Every structure is written in structure tokens, then in C-alpha cells.
């Protein structure tokens, strides 16, 4: 449409209307009147075309703004993803300052929340948010210390502007420290340790005022705990003396020291002789979350009831622990299952043995299932269990049987089922061993 806009179309529309209205009223300048119906129809056609043109421009404008909004939204999400990649993993030592890492974390979280809660944000709002995200960055510890040193130099030079009020020796020491610090800043390869040493040299080079009196001045230091336990101010501090660092606590935080600025960027050195009043603020870092420790692995000989049987730990291990059945806890039990594993304090233990005489004379016991991990069944383990007529072995390997392990069990209708996983040759030997250890010769012993 060239340079046409909705406003221009409105002017054109009004002008055309005025033109044709003059023709209808005057009959035309040449005395010819073509008739109102044909002329009005032509004027209406032009007006309709202009109206359609205005609607097309409006729709194109809305579509353009929608595309821009979509692009900015996409750009913001991509920028947030890139910023998240800059963040180091928890607990990993980095070259960046904790303050800049935390600030970036909060800014990214805030941007995400803002996008989620402002689906209908205006183009201006989105542009402003995108620009603010572009300004985010991580600050290295070296860069932060360089800035701190630069500020210290500026502050010291300001004091030196009135050097006549200070002793010659103290002025010379500070000037020397400033000169060395400036040279270091001009050196692009200066290390963090060198910058820190230069900063400490400036802070230690305190200016001493000239005085004609031998009476020393007194100063005070006020402590702002910033959410921690209150700390009393130190008053009547003689000029040139040092004070000890007071401690404070805050629930959920670790104390990071006392700082001399409201933004908590310059840490106070308690080796500094006091020659002025100070307002110090406490700095805090969130306490790291503690991972709950796992319970101790149950020790050998620890006992634990499971079902109707008491088990005892024979090997203490987080993944390969073992236990054995040592006692029937319910004398009237009719059915007993020795499981493949039992759980004690969240740890699994294999049941590998049944102690001697554990179920001896269990008069009401009729059925027992022996787990797949049982390797040993002690002497007289099931001795004289007269009603025991259903015995099932779940393991692929035959357990070792003690003397008279099944002596005195049911002689009639006794059924012994052995797992199909056991090899045929092993089954034949085990079958003979069962009879030898007390199972009735009349019993049915089969693999299923």
C-alpha cells in the first residue's frame, strides 16, 4: 500500500464524500447533471473500497505486532536457557562470586515467573523485560576484587586531597600503596592473590591525623545483625586500637562476616586500627541443605520377627546381608513360609538357613514353604511335627539337611514338592536325602 496509513485513508474518504456532495447540490460546474443514482453508486463504491483498505491495514498491523510479540517471547525463553547454562552446579567451586551467581539465579527464576504470569503482556513490557535480561552476567572473583580495589583507590585519593591534616609518614605509606595498586590494575595478567594483597595494603595504610595533644580520640563501632542475633555496639574505643570480631547467629544461615557498606561488598578487616566510627552489617549465606543419612546396617546377631518366625542376622551388609530362622514365635501356627528375603531397617537380607530345632514339636504345623535362598536346615528343625504333611522347596539347589531334620513328620498323605528349577540328577539325590532325614517312605515327593 506504499506509505498509506489508516489516518490518510480517513482523510481521503472524507474528501471524496465532500466532492460528490458538492456535485449533487450544485448540479456541476458545466451545467450537466448526470443523475444522482449513477454518481452516488460510484461514490459509494470508492468509499467501500477505502473502508476495506482500512480494515486490511488494521489486520496487517495487528498481525505484525503479534509476530513481534511471538519473536520476543521466543528470544526471552532462549536467553533464559542460555543464562541457566551459565549457572554452575551446586557444590562445584567456580571463578564467579557467590553474589553474582545468586543474583543470576534469582533473575532467571523471576523472568520465568513473569513470563508464566504475563501471557498478555504488551510489546513495550516484553521489550523492557528482554533488555533487562540481556544485561545479566556473572562476575568473576577477580573482576569483583579489581572493582573493589578501584573503589578503594578512589576513596583513598579523595582522603589525600586534604593530605595536610595527616602525618607525612602515613600519607607516604598510602601513596605508595595506591601507586602499586594502580600499576597492578594496568597489568592485565594480575592474579586474584596479587589484587587481594594490593587491596589489603591500601586498607592497612591508614592516614593518621596530626595532633598537638597527647589525648587520644575515642570512637564507636555499631553492628547491624541483619536478621541475626543482636550484637552490642563497641564504644569508647581509643584511637589506633583494634577490636575483636563479634559473632552472631541466624537460623538457616551461615555467618559470612562483617561488612562496611550497605551493599555488603567490602569486608571489614578486624586487624585495622580504629581511627573513625564504623557501621558494620552482617552478611549471611543460606545454610546448605542436609541430606538425611541412611540408617545403620543391622549388625550381626540382631534379631527381627517376620511373620510367625524370628530371624537373626548372620552377615551384616547393605546389599549382601544374610539371616537365619531361629525361633517360632507363634506356637499354634499351622502354616509357615520361610521367605527368600526379609527386610530389617530398610535393608534386605537373604534367608539362608533354618536353625536346629526351630520348629521341633510344632504340634499344629501342617504346611511349610522353604524359600529359594535356604542352603541349610539344621538338625531336628521339624522334628516330631506330626501334622506336617505339605512341604515345598522353592530353591534351584537342594539345601543341606541336618540329622533328623524331618523325623516324625506325617507318615500318611505327606506331599513334598520340589522346584522344577532343580536339576533332575540333583532332585534324585535330594529325594533320597529327604527320606534319610525323616520324610516317610510313603510320602509323595515330586517336582512341580
Please give the pLDDT value at position 300: 95
Please give the pLDDT value at position 179: 92
Is the pLDDT confidence value at 425 over 80? yes
Is the pLDDT confidence value at 22 over 60? no
Please give the pLDDT value at position 85: 66
Please give the pLDDT value at position 33: 41
Look up cell 595532633; give the residue. 211
- Residues 28-57 pLDDT 10s: 444 434 444 455 665 666 667 667 776 676
CA dihedral 312, 328, 371, 442 (to 10 degrees): 140
Please give the pLDDT value at position 26: 41
Is the pLDDT confidence value at 291 over 70? yes
H helices of 341-405, where?
A: none
Where residue 64 falls among pLDDT bands split at 50, 70, 90?
low
How is residue 235 annotated by DSSP?
E
* E strand intervals along 317-379: 321-328, 335-338, 341-344, 347-354, 367-370, 376-377
Please give the pLDDT value at position 124: 74
How many other CB atoms are found less than 10 A from the CB of residue 360? 18
Please give the pLDDT value at position 372: 95
When mean pLDDT is compared across 47-51, 115-119, 233-237, 300-304, the lowest value belongs to 47-51
Which has the closest alpha carbon to 323: 346, 300, 345, 307?
A: 300
DSSP-derived pairing of the beta strands 234-238 and 376-377: unpaired
Is the pLDDT confidence value at 157 over 80? yes
Please give the pLDDT value at position 212: 58
CB 301 within 8 A of CB 313: yes
Domains and CATH numbers, the chain: 6-134 (no CATH), 141-204 (1.20.1270), 218-286 (2.60.40.4270), 331-341+354-447 (3.80.10.10)
Is the pLDDT confidence value at 122 over 60? yes
CA–CA dist 126, 112 (Å, integer):
13
Which has the closest alpha carbon to 404: 384, 374, 424?
A: 384
30 to 7, 27, 43: CA distances (angstroms): 33, 8, 20
- Residues 6-15 pLDDT 10s: 343 343 444 4
CA–CA dist 220, 275 (Å, integer):
10
Mean pLDDT of the chain: 82
CA–CA dist 317, 299 (Å, integer):
8
223 to 284, 286, 406: CA distances (angstroms): 14, 20, 82
Q: What are phi and psi of 402, to 5 degrees?
A: -80, 170
Please give the pLDDT value at position 35: 45
Mean pLDDT of 81-104: 74
Gyration radius from the chain CA atoms: 46
Return the bridge partners of 354, or none: 325, 377
Is the pLDDT confidence value at 412 over 90? no
Please give the pLDDT value at position 447: 93
C-alpha cell at 303: 534379631
User: Distance from CA of residue 11 to its chain's centroid?
Assistant: 62
Which residues lie closer than 8 Å to 272 by C-beta, 6 or more apart?
A: 203, 204, 206, 242
Where residue 257 falls among pLDDT bands split at 50, 70, 90?
very high
**CB-based contacts of 172-178 (< 8 A; 24+ apart in sequence):** 173/205, 174/202, 174/205, 174/206, 174/207, 176/205, 177/201, 177/202, 177/204, 177/205, 178/153, 178/202
The helix/strand count (H/E) of the chain reads as 8, 16
Q: At what angle do helices 98-117 and 36-86 cross, to 10 degrees?
A: 150
CA–CA dist 407, 404 (Å, integer):
5
Mean pLDDT of 373-395: 94
Which residues lie closer than 8 Å to 235 by C-beta, 6 or more apart?
A: 218, 220
Where residue 267 falls among pLDDT bands split at 50, 70, 90?
very high
Amino acid at each position: 500500500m506504499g506509505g498509506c496509513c489508516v489516518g490518510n485513508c480517513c482523510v481521503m474518504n472524507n474528501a471524496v464524500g465532500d466532492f460528490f456532495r458538492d456535485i449533487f447540490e450544485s448540479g456541476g460546474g458545466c451545467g450537466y447533471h448526470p443523475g444522482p443514482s449513477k454518481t452516488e453508486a460510484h461514490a459509494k463504491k470508492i468509499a467501500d473500497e477505502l473502508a476495506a483498505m482500512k480494515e486490511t491495514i488494521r489486520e496487517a498491523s495487528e498481525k505484525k505486532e503479534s509476530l513481534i510479540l511471538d519473536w520476543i517471547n521466543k528470544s526471552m525463553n532462549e536467553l533464559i536457557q542460555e543464562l541457566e547454562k551459565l549457572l554452575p552446579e551446586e557444590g562445584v567451586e567456580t571463578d564467579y562470586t557467590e553474589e553474582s551467581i545468586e543474583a543470576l539465579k534469582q533473575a532467571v527464576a523471576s523472568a520465568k515467573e513473569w513470563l508464566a504470569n504475563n501471557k498478555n503482556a504488551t510489546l513495550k513490557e516484553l521489550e523492557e523485560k528482554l533488555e533487562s535480561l540481556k544485561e545479566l552476567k556473572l562476575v568473576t572473583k577477580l573482576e569483583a576484587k579489581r572493582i573493589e580495589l578501584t573503589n578503594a583507590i578512589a576513596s583513598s585519593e579523595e582522603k589525600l586531597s586534604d593530605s595536610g591534616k595527616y602525618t607525612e609518614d602515613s600519607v607516604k605509606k598510602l601513596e605508595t600503596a595506591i601507586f602499586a595498586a594502580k600499576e597492578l590494575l594496568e597489568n592485565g595478567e594480575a592474579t586474584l592473590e596479587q589484587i587481594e594483597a594490593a587491596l589489603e595494603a591500601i586498607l592497612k595504610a591508614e592516614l593518621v591525623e596530626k595532633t598537638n595533644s597527647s589525648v587520644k580520640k575515642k570512637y564507636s563501632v555499631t553492628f547491624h545483625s541483619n536478621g541475626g542475633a543482636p550484637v552490642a555496639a563497641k564504644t569508647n574505643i581509643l584511637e589506633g586500637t583494634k577490636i575483636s570480631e563479634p559473632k552472631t547467629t541466624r537460623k538457616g544461615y551461615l555467618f559470612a562476616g562483617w561488612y562496611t557498606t550497605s551493599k555488603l561488598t567490602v569486608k571489614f578487616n578486624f586487624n585495622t586500627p580504629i581511627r573513625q566510627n564504623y557501621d558494620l552489617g552482617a552478611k549471611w549465606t543460606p545454610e546448605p541443605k542436609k541430606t538425611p543419612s541412611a540408617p545403620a546396617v543391622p549388625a550381626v546377631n540382631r534379631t527381627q520377627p517376620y511373620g510367625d518366625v524370628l530371624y537373626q542376622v548372620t552377615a551384616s551388609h547393605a546389599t549382601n546381608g544374610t539371616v537365619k530362622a531361629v525361633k517360632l514365635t507363634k506356637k499354634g501356627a499351622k502354616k509357615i513360609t520361610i521367605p527368600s528375603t526379609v527386610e530389617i531397617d530398610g535393608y534386605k537380607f537373604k534367608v539362608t538357613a533354618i536353625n536346629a530345632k526351630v520348629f521341633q514339636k510344632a504340634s499344629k504345623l501342617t504346611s511349610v514353604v522353604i524359600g529359594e535362598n535356604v542352603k541349610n536346615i539344621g538338625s531336628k528343625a521339624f522334628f516330631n511335627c506330626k501334622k506336617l504333611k505339605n512341604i515345598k522347596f522353592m530353591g534351584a539347589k537342594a539345601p543341606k539337611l541336618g540329622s533328623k531334620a524331618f523325623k516324625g513328620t506325617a507318615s500318611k498323605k505327606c506331599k513334598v514338592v520340589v522346584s522344577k528349577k532343580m536339576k533332575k540328577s540333583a532332585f534324585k539325590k535330594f529325594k533320597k536325602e529327604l527320606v534319610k532325614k525323616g520324610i516317610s517312605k510313603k510320602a509323595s515327593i515330586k517336582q512341580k
